[in-house]
Amino acid sequence: MPRRQRRRTRSSSALTIVRQARAAAKSALDSLRAEIKSTAVKLQKLISEERSFKFDLFGGGTRRRGPGRPRTAAGRGRPPKARRTARRKGPPRAERFFARLSRTFSLEDVRKVAGKKAGISLAQWSRAKRIKKTAKGYQKVAA
């Protein structure tokens, strides 16, 4: 008596396809990981060969600095130079923006004057207690 073939439902065949795809993806990932590991080992070997080659050619007594690196004053008996503060030409920009605004203004007014720096200017002015927030926007505080 011949065996009856089971009728496969769509859901069981879809699950089988998904399982097969996951198994194939897992084996592909495993082979990729193995390839990455072997390449990393080869790279480490090449790096060590490069270091030994440089040591043979140039020696290893002093550590060389890359091009464009400034020499430091430390170790030469001189104290390091003190950095100068940058000179500002004219009043700060936020002050110029503040002077252009009327007594009461909105965020849109500040954006027209200050552009991208509007948020920074508002924060500076509020910390300095030069403006206060009102229902319709902001108002300059009398100094």
C-alpha–C-alpha distance, residues 1 and 107, integer Å: 88
Is 0.95 topped by the overall pTM? no
At the topology level of CATH, where does 93-140 sit? Arc Repressor Mutant, subunit A (1.10.10)
Q: Phi first, then psi: what are they for 65, rounded to 5°?
A: -95, 155
Mean pLDDT, rounded, for 57-63: 71
Q: What is the pLDDT of residue 45?
A: 94
The residue ranges of every structural domain in the chain are 12-58, 93-140
Residue 141 · residue 132 · CB < 8 Å: yes
Return the pLDDT at 35: 96
For residues 96-118, average pLDDT: 85
Helical segments of the chain, H only: 10-58, 93-100, 107-114, 118-127
What is the average pLDDT across 39-63?
86
9, 12, 14, 17 alpha-carbon torsion, rounded to 10°: -130
pLDDT for the residue numbered 42: 95
pLDDT at position 9 over 80: no
The pLDDT value given to residue 92: 75
Return the closest-CA partner of residue 107 out of 128, 122, 126, 94. Answer: 122
